[in-house]
Structure 1
Amino acid sequence: MLGATHDDADVIVVGAGPAGASAAYHCAAAGLQVLLLDKASFPRDKICGDGLTPRAVAELVRMGVPIDEQDGWIRNRGLRVIGGGHRIELPWPEISSYPSFGLARARMSFDHLLATHAQAAGAKLLERTMVTGPVRDERTGRVVGVTARPVDADGRRDGDEVVYRAPVVVAADGVSARLATGMGLQKRDDRPMGVAVRTYFRTPRHEDPWMESHLELWDGEPHRSNLMPGYGWIFSLGDGTANVGLGSVSSTAAATKVDYKALFAAWMANAPAEWEFTPENQVGEVRGAALPMGFNRGPLYGQGLMLAGDAAGMISPFNGEGIAYGLQAGRVAADAIAQGLARGTAAGRERAFATYERRMKDDLGGYYTLGRVFVRLIEHPEVMRICTRYGLPRPLVMRFTLKLLSDCYEPRGGDVVDRVIAGLARIAPAA
């Protein structure tokens, strides 16, 4: 391996969410010494819809994560879409690239599972370790490690600062992107930004096999009240509860003036009675998070630092999905790192590391560009209303929409819908 004798690992991964845990697992499985650092201790919560698309499931299969129902998962058949006076169930597509089912599991246990899976592969996990910034070579400016300090359960300093060194660092440290900003890598304001809020409810429908999406949210009886700027979801978790939330998206990073908790309360006041989303059935408070989208920060690799997951703005503008792309980024980053550390020269190492950005942009760049166009369209309520009312009843339109929005299409071959989406993604500029 390249690197000085005082290196603490072959690779340091900052953040043990899906992107970081994936990178740590795949690096460890390739025989590398991995140091995985996280400011929290597991299990810990994360604001999320808790639903995994077939694309995310495929990444879990590649990692060898147990996904049977007895392992704590609930499988879903597809998406139930409600809006424009329609209620339509859309099964996940039967294609060769991805399984025809999704999964759901609370992030409290999901992230813990991934972190321990990376540990079992050989990664060393240090919890309650707050990374404070990059360590850079004085001569070249290249990242050669990180500074960190231990923290207590409330995030307060609990010891002296420590330096950890490695030939390459993966920044999977979430929306805050502390390492990236420490390198002067600012987010792009011309990329979409989403906001989501969610909570949990006890419900008799906790084993519903469909992920439910409400495309129209009203502050009273439909057609007698105002259409609210967002969409809602209900994802059953099979454990007596459902994850219930709503989100909206803007085509730029400009802050919105929407009171999302009030929006959520208005939706719940008019939610379907059969779910029993009453105040006494609510479990935990309504919490929110920002959703950086469409590669809003980069470069994905430069000067010894790789960005993965939310730190790189890898959430899809189409559906707010981030887990699948975080898992993919960790896998692709690990492959580039393993190849780079096997090279005999520094130049060869850097060429291999640089393939990470090229592979991610080649696969997702055009798709995310299409997503930006999609967001600009649905920002107009009337466009969303017309699409919902007249598009939902048309099977071909909805098959196209489901594959496009869920990113579950055959990238090569497949039916006419797959070929159209793949063609659009190829010709769209991967900016």
Structure 2
Amino acid sequence: MPEGRSIPGGIRSGGGLVDTGSVRDGDAVCWDAIVVGAGPAGCAAAYDLSIAGRSVLLLDKADFPRPKACAGGLTRKSLSALRYSVTPVVRERPSAITVEKNAAESAVIRSLMPICAMTVRDELDDFCLRQTVEAGVQFERIDPIETIDEMNREVHLRTRARYFRAQFLVGADGVHSQVRRLTGEARWFRRGFALEANVRTPDAASAAMVFDLGTVSGGYGWVFPKGDHLNIGLYTIDSSEKLNRERLATYIATRCGAVNTEQFVGQYLGFGAEQAETSSARIFLVGDAGGFADPLTGEGIYGAIMSGQAAAKAIEGDLRGKKAAASAFMQATARLRADLRLSSAGARWFYAHPDTGYRVLTAPMLRSLVLRAYASGSGVAALAQAVKNIVEILPL
């Protein structure tokens, strides 16, 4: 698709607001920040910078809306972190989780408040992009980036036919980040994998939100109700666990029988931010690109939002002469990275002992802690450590 095509619904890529430059003219405007990737992380960074009065160019290789593999559950902590309400794209608000073991044993954990808001990811991302553009961000659809050069005071990007300049660059372009690949080897980066499909079934509206432990080595199966359909998937942090369409189809058939299944989509998740000790002076990796997904829960949206906002805060502070953006970004993400460090250790233990993990999570004295940790973010990492400690004292 040629660059500058209209996005469905009226948001125009390019917009005709400014000349972003080309390889031929070599004299592109210098933006305060360029953000590569228009998912939750990129939109979070671009939105905050724009409302602070900064000139921001948001780049993505895809049209919006575009398919995106993601269970689409927004926890309360994610909803609180967003700068705007996403109610228009919320499908369901479940107030209970069914925890299962191999789709056999089960326990229901209930809450007085909704645990999360269920969305369809392509709808969510399109909505967030619209909010970001309305906040003043310029959006461009581009071809793959070929080179990135970090200068003393600028960063230069080139695609096959375009040339861009900015004082700062935010890489929010996912697990297969071109920004990460072109700006240095990240030895700390790790990946998980999720495979999902949508299932049309008459009782989708009344279906439970399910986490199924033990079904997958190093992970879990899930069922998320979306009103007119179910989103069912498998997630793992175990690189030796092979997930494919046939495996998921068998899992769905076991749970639901003969149903109409569509849109099988796989997606890697980015881990390892907790091991990153430094940041570039002018280039920041956020979201999956920066390894900010949670390996214990598989949740990526919260880390995406928080790391994107942290990058924006660091850049804004630097532009105001307060503190170098690199050190400010590491400081702003310190708590998040510390939580991910605990979560990573907890995930390795938890998924190595799914039977014990199931009994711990469904123990009456721990159910409220499980809900609070998952929904509000008041200790997912702490929960991981607590589970390991409690195993030593409970007669499980």
TM bracket, shorter-chain basis = 0.7 to 0.9
Tell me the TM-score normalized by structure 2.
0.82
Q: Report if aligned partners of 2:175, 2:269 keep a CA contact under 8 Å in 1.
A: yes
Q: Report if aligned partners of 1:245, 1:264 keep a CA contact under 8 Å in 2.
A: yes
Cross-structure match for 2:8: none
Tell me the TM-score normalized by structure 1.
0.75
Relative to 1, partners in 2 of residues 1:420 and 1:135: Cα closer, same or farther, differing over 3 Å? closer
Q: Report if aligned partners of 1:202, 1:242 keep a CA contact under 8 Å in 2.
A: yes
1:83-94 matches, within 5 Å, as: 83=101, 85-91=104-110
Aligned-partner SS, 1:270? helix
- 1:198 shift after superposition: 0.5
Relative to 1, partners in 2 of residues 1:132 and 1:396: Cα closer, same or farther, differing over 3 Å? farther
Percent sequence identity over aligned pairs: 26
- Whether 2:369 is the aligned partner of 1:396: answer no
CA distance in 1, matches of 2:381, 2:340: 17
- 1:133 shift after superposition: 3.0
Q: Report if aligned partners of 1:51, 1:102 keep a CA contact under 8 Å in 2.
A: yes
Relative to 1, partners in 2 of residues 1:187 and 1:403: Cα closer, same or farther, differing over 3 Å? farther
- Whether 2:36 is the aligned partner of 1:36: answer no
CA distance in 1, matches of 2:289, 2:205: 33
Superposed CA RMSD in Å reads 2.8
- Whether 2:302 is the aligned partner of 1:324: answer yes
Cross-structure match for 1:186: 186
Cross-structure match for 1:242: 230
Q: Report if aligned partners of 1:77, 1:209 keep a CA contact under 8 Å in 2.
A: no
Give a deviation string over 1:133-162, Cα, whole Å, max 9, x none.
31232xx4x75131124xxxxxxxxxx2x2
Number of equivalenced pairs: 359
Aligned-partner SS, 1:166? strand
Cross-structure match for 1:355: 328
- 1:7 shift after superposition: 4.0
1:67-146 matches, within 5 Å, as: 67=87, 71-83=89-101, 85-91=104-110, 100-137=114-151, 140=152, 144-146=155-157
Q: Which amino acid aligns with 1:265?
A: A
Give a deviation string over 1:25-80, Cα, whole Å, max 9, x none.
111111111100000011101111111111111122xx123425xx5532222422
- 1:173 shift after superposition: 0.8
CA distance in 2, matches of 1:18, 1:419: 22
Q: Which amino acid aligns with 2:367?
A: M
Cross-structure match for 1:315: 293
**Pick aligned residue for 2:77 from 55, 66, 69:** 55
Relative to 1, partners in 2 of residues 1:59 and 1:419: Cα closer, same or farther, differing over 3 Å? closer
- Whether 2:340 is the aligned partner of 1:340: answer no
- 1:130 shift after superposition: 2.8
Relative to 1, partners in 2 of residues 1:338 and 1:228: Cα closer, same or farther, differing over 3 Å? closer
- Whether 2:327 is the aligned partner of 1:378: answer no
Relative to 1, partners in 2 of residues 1:229 and 1:295: Cα closer, same or farther, differing over 3 Å? closer
Q: Which amino acid aligns with 1:283?
A: E
Give a deviation string over 1:216-247, Cα, whole Å, max 9, x none.
33xxxxxxxxx866421111112x11211111
- 1:196 shift after superposition: 0.7
Cross-structure match for 2:13: none
- 1:387 shift after superposition: 2.7
Aligned-partner SS, 2:235? strand
CA distance in 2, matches of 1:16, 1:269: 35
Q: Report if aligned partners of 1:75, 1:209 keep a CA contact under 8 Å in 2.
A: no
Cross-structure match for 1:166: 166
Relative to 1, partners in 2 of residues 1:423 and 1:237: Cα closer, same or farther, differing over 3 Å? closer
Q: Which amino acid aligns with 1:41?
A: D
Q: Report if aligned partners of 1:300, 1:306 keep a CA contact under 8 Å in 2.
A: no
Q: Report if aligned partners of 1:300, 1:307 keep a CA contact under 8 Å in 2.
A: no
Cross-structure match for 1:429: none
Q: Report if aligned partners of 2:361, 2:370 keep a CA contact under 8 Å in 1.
A: no
- Whether 2:159 is the aligned partner of 1:148: answer yes
- 1:101 shift after superposition: 3.7
Q: Which runs of 5+ in 2 are unaligned?
A: 1-26, 387-396
- Whether 2:326 is the aligned partner of 1:369: answer no
Q: Report if aligned partners of 1:228, 1:263 keep a CA contact under 8 Å in 2.
A: no
CA distance in 1, matches of 2:343, 2:218: 18
- 1:93 shift after superposition: 7.8
Relative to 1, partners in 2 of residues 1:32 and 1:256: Cα closer, same or farther, differing over 3 Å? same
Q: Report if aligned partners of 1:186, 1:297 keep a CA contact under 8 Å in 2.
A: no
Q: Report if aligned partners of 1:300, 1:356 keep a CA contact under 8 Å in 2.
A: no
